Amino acid sequence: MAHSKQAQKRVRTSEARRVHNKGIASRMRSEVKRVLAAAESGDVEAAKAALPNAMKQIDKAAKTNILHANAASNRKAMMARAINRAAAAK
């Protein structure tokens, strides 16, 4: 347990940031899943419609270092590949 006043405050702020970051990461994963599920089912139009929002959530997570910039780029590329594969399969 933290003993100093400063250490106690750091515990409180760290917990608040953790909960905040968890929410952002969860929203990001949900949007990515929405795109991938639409692409997987062959609904290319729905996947393309959901793509900008997913990209936005990924960029927001990367901007605040919840997700590394390279990991964000990889996820965005992975979603684009999934949509392109679904479109080519039609």
Q: Does 90 score more than 90 pLDDT? A: no
Burial of 77 (0-12, 13-18, 19+ CB in 10 A): exposed
CATH architecture for segment(s) 18-89: Up-down Bundle (1.20)
Q: Could you tell me which of 18, 31, 14, 28 has the C-alpha nearest to residue 71?
A: 28
Q: Give the predicted TM-score (pTM) of the model.
A: 0.89
Q: What are phi and psi for residue 39, nearest 5 degrees?
A: -65, -40
pLDDT in tens, 20-75: 999 999 999 999 999 999 999 999 999 999 999 999 999 999 999 999 999 999 99
Q: Does 2 score more than 90 pLDDT? A: no
Tally Cβ neighbours within 10 Å of residue 55.
Answer: 18
The residues spanned by each domain of the chain are 18-89
Structure tokens at 58: 């990924």
